[in-house]
């Protein structure tokens, strides 16, 4: 019985001091380095609580406008419609709801500049 209490105490101690899962930041480049009108990568899978940071590549200006999100998520609120012409612009979104999110670049949607985030 004493051994069982010792093992239980050890397990509780390990769990109490185990590091918490850290949210991650995933990078998506807007416009490839060779000037193609794409998001790199085009699709990203993230965990709830993770952030996606969009960084400027070439052939801008670019933006991030969501066209689809899980029920209850306002695409207007998470979109970054303002076009970016800065040297090192970024857009960030933290995803709290699981599901699929589709987005595009307003001036380059017709050229195929679309992306998808899957939140697990």
Band the pLDDT of 22: cuts 50, 70, 90.
confident
What is the distance between the alpha carbons of residues 95 and 81, in angstroms, rounded to a whole number?
A: 17
Is 26 a known active-site residue? no
Closest C-alpha to 84, from 103, 65, 69: 65
Domains of the chain, by residue range, sit at: 22-119
Q: Out of 30, 56, 80, 113, which one is annotated catalytic?
A: 113
**What mean pLDDT, rounded, does the chain reach?**
86
Q: What is the CATH number of domain 22-119?
A: 2.60.40.420
Is 10 a known active-site residue? no
Band the pLDDT of 1: cuts 50, 70, 90.
low
At 18 the three-state DSSP class reads coil
């Amino acid at each position: 019985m004493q051994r069982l209490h010792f093992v239980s105490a050890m397990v509780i101690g390990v769990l109490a001091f185990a590091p918490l899962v850290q949210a991650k930041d995933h990078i998506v480049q807007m416009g490839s380095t060779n000037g193609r009108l794409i998001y790199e990568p085009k699709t990203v899978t993230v965990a709830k609580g993770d952030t996606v940071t969009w960084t400027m590549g070439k052939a801008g200006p670019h933006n991030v406008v969501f066209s689809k999100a899980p029920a209850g998520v306002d695409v207007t609120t998470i979109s970054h419609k303002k076009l970016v012409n800065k040297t090192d612009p970024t857009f960030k979104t933290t995803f709290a709801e699981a599901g699929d999110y589709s987005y595009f670049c307003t001036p380059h949607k017709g050229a195929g500049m679309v992306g998808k985030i899957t939140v697990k």
